[in-house]
Amino acid sequence: MKHSILDNRPELSSAILQIAETAGYLWEKGWAERNGGNITVNITEYVDEQMKALPAISQTRAIGAFLPHLKGCWFYCKGTQKRMRDLARDPMANGSIIRITDDCAHYEIVADQAVAPTSELPSHLSVHDYLLGKGSPYRASLHTHPIELVAMTHCRKFMEKDVATKLLWSMIPETKAFCPRGLGMVPYLMPGGVELAEATIRTIDEDYDVVMWEKHGVFAIDTDIMSAFDQIDVLNKAAQIYIAGKNMGFEPEGMSEAQMKDLSETFGLPK
Ligand code: 13P
Ligand code: ZN
């Protein structure tokens, strides 16, 4: 067996295994064509002193933004151009661990292989910076291309604030129960850019855990990667139910306002 940074680090290994498992689900769902989608997880809490002393295996590279709350932070990142289905099998060959340098504007790779991180790193790291700044317990962010949710963003009406949220919540009670903040909308912007990162944070700041990138994909945050996946999964399931109704030739009725209100009260869901 080849030596790995995960050796003798059971907590770190289990966090990475959870990422690999999630990557497999993304592929099985049909949401991860080719290299589509990316994952980053803040793994700082699993990094011991010995790991902190390890040398970088890459040059120091610019993030493209100054992110003050990321000082001393460590992340697992999917590699750019790497496939989720490959990551599921071998997370350390299709992703890497990076540490943020003390100037909060650069990173270096400290991992088994110098796999360059995802092209969506500006969005992911800016969001992690925002979350830490707020004292949030969220440590994981997930971007993926779920078919039905992306299809909905091709319709003007669904891009209006909370139109899609209300529709999706009303398809099946679990949607609001497990994605209680709904679905924020970000108008189309170039993938991988700082503008997309800024728009994503603005939308998350309106109190969404899941945001749609118009005609592209979805970006979700949660405490861990499996929970971020679950929020997208329940939303996309609701979209599939809506589409199934439309395909049967009718406009799905949806739960009533009274039923939605009752659900929110019973589950104590956020306003
Ligand atoms: P990466 O392969 O760079 O992670 O890009 C995939 C993607 O979905 C871009 O939005
Ligand atoms: Zn994408």
Query: What is the per-residue pLDDT for 270?
Result: 86
Tokens found for residue 199:
């728009």
Q: Is the CB of 37 under 6 A from ligand 1?
A: yes
Ligand nearest to the CA of 121: 1
Active-site hit among 33, 45, 108, 120:
120
Please check whether residue 68 is in contact with residue 39, taking contact to mean a CB–CB distance below 8 angstroms. no
Q: What is the mean pLDDT of the chain?
A: 97
Band (pLDDT 50/70/90 cuts) for residue 138 is: very high
Please check whether residue 231 is in contact with residue 142, taking contact to mean a CB–CB distance below 8 angstroms. no
Spatial distance between the Cα atoms of 28 and 215, rounded to a whole number of angstroms: 21
Residue keyed to tokens 């289990």:
14
List, for residues 43-88, the tens digit of each pLDDT value: 999 999 999 999 999 999 999 999 999 999 999 999 999 999 999 9
Q: Is the CB of 81 under 6 A from ligand 1?
A: yes
Query: What is the per-residue pLDDT for 26?
Result: 99
List, for residues 3-58, the tens digit of each pLDDT value: 999 999 999 999 999 999 999 999 999 999 999 999 999 999 999 999 999 999 99
Phi, psi values for residue 129, rounded to 5° = -60, -45
List, for residues 205-258, the tens digit of each pLDDT value: 999 999 999 999 999 999 999 999 999 999 999 999 999 999 999 999 999 999
Q: Is the CB of 58 under 6 A from ligand 1?
A: no
Using the atom order of ligand 1, give the atom closest to the CA of residue 191.
10
Please check whether residue 69 is in contact with residue 35, taking contact to mean a CB–CB distance below 8 angstroms. no
Write out the E strands in the chain: 38-42, 61-62, 74-78, 95-100, 106-109, 140-144, 183-186, 210-213, 217-222
Spatial distance between the Cα atoms of 239 and 222, rounded to a whole number of angstroms: 21
Print the SS3 string covering 192-249: CCHHHHHHHHHHHHCCCCEEEECCCEEEEEECCHHHHHHHHHHHHHHHHHHHHHHHCC
Which residue among 34, 76, 81 is best mutated to probe the pocket of ligand 1, counting the most ligand atoms within 8 A of its Cβ? Answer: 81
Q: Is the CB of 141 under 6 A from ligand 1?
A: no
Catalytic status, residue 33 = no
User: Is the sign of the CA dihedral 266, 138, 271, 186 positive or negative?
Assistant: negative
Spatial distance between the Cα atoms of 117 and 177, rounded to a whole number of angstroms: 34
Band (pLDDT 50/70/90 cuts) for residue 2 is: confident
Tokens found for residue 215:
């005609």
Asked if pLDDT for residue 271 goes beyond 80, the answer is no
Query: What is the per-residue pLDDT for 144?
Result: 99
How large is the average pLDDT for residues 195-206? 97
Spatial distance between the Cα atoms of 213 and 59, rounded to a whole number of angstroms: 31
pTM of the model: 0.97
List, for residues 94-123, the tens digit of each pLDDT value: 999 999 999 999 999 999 999 999 999 999
Query: What is the per-residue pLDDT for 218?
Result: 98
Q: Whose CA is nearest to atom 1 of ligand 1?
A: 80
Please check whether residue 111 is in contact with residue 77, taking contact to mean a CB–CB distance below 8 angstroms. no
How large is the average pLDDT for residues 138-144? 98
Q: Is the CB of 34 under 6 A from ligand 1?
A: no
